[in-house]
Amino acid sequence: MRTPDPSPSYLPSYRSPLASQCAHQPAPDYLWNHLIELPYFRALLRAVEARFYERLPVIEPVLDLGAGDGSFARQTFARPLTAGIDPWWGPTLEARRRGAHRLLALAAGAALPFADAAFQTVVSNSVLEHIPDLQPVLAEAFRVLRPGGYLLFCSPSEYFTAWLLGAKALGDTYRRWFNRISRHHHCDSPAVWQARLEQAGFQVEAIWYYFSPRALQTLELGHYLGLPNLISKKLLGRWVLFASRRNPVLRALDAALRPIYNEPLPQAGAYLFGVARKP
């Protein structure tokens, strides 16, 4: 399911033969760029994910399935993506201001407002785990892809709740609560994902784990330590107020998170990333 390729240990060995056509940026500092926009726990996760796209076939036209506020697309890709959809007004308005998509539509993933075979790539970054009924969404992604097109996605894995710090004291009660506040409906293994993707018609080319127990627990603590960011967002519309290298808090966070950002890919991880192709 993987294609070997020499790469830094923090990148997957998979490399698409079409990578030269990708829309990604040439190796920016994803960690810092996300830290100046997001609470640190989200910044760390998104930075790790953004770097994967350096080796993935993000070939135009591209649909961002679950575009959210547009922050991830703007930080990850060198130019605006062809289209983005999201079912919520607020994030869609933010995405419009960021200009990371040439077209934005308010739509559900199970009813995409696009013609058959309209896209070469569908990107769905940390979205599918929030959708209770996945098969209609995967079927729609398959429909709007051209033959040979790619679905790129990521999601919490079956290890997500097992490694949570709070679960050591509170067990399954905490696991259920943390999944609820994270709005997770799916934390599944590669085998489960392969089965549902194949049911939709896809061929799975690669699935890899990322985020060690240490990385997950750093993310977990950030849900509590990020309260000032939440207050700032609610009152002032920004997660981070002083987005500058002169901000000592951001510099300290960058130094603390950098080793986790550069961790090698683990044999088992709290998240998984998948590459699937429409035959």
- Percent of the chain's residues with pLDDT above 70: 93
| Tens-digit pLDDT profile for residues 122-176 | 999 999 999 999 999 999 999 999 999 999 999 999 999 999 999 999 999 999 9
Q: Which domains does the chain have, with CATH numbers?
A: 19-277 (3.40.50.150)
pLDDT given for residue 262 in this prediction: 96
Residue of 139, 162, 161, 169 whose CA lies nearest to 151: 139
Q: How far is CA 17 from CA 21, 55, 155, in A?
A: 9, 9, 24
Residue of 195, 66, 49 whose CA lies nearest to 135: 195
pLDDT mean over 183-190: 96
**Per-residue pLDDT band at 21 (split at 50, 70, 90):** low
- What is the pairing mode between strands 83-86 and 145-156? unpaired
pLDDT given for residue 2 in this prediction: 45
Whether residue 28 is predicted with pLDDT greater than 90 in this model: the reply is no
Whether residue 7 is predicted with pLDDT greater than 70 in this model: the reply is no
Residue 244 DSSP code: S
Residue 77 DSSP code: B
Strand partners, 119: 145
pLDDT mean over 229-244: 88
Distance, in Å, from the CA atom of 278 to the CA atom of 202, rounded to the nearest integer, reads 5
Whether residue 227 is predicted with pLDDT greater than 90 in this model: the reply is no
pLDDT mean over 183-187: 96
Share the mean pLDDT of the chain. Answer: 92
pLDDT mean over 217-244: 90
pLDDT given for residue 49 in this prediction: 97
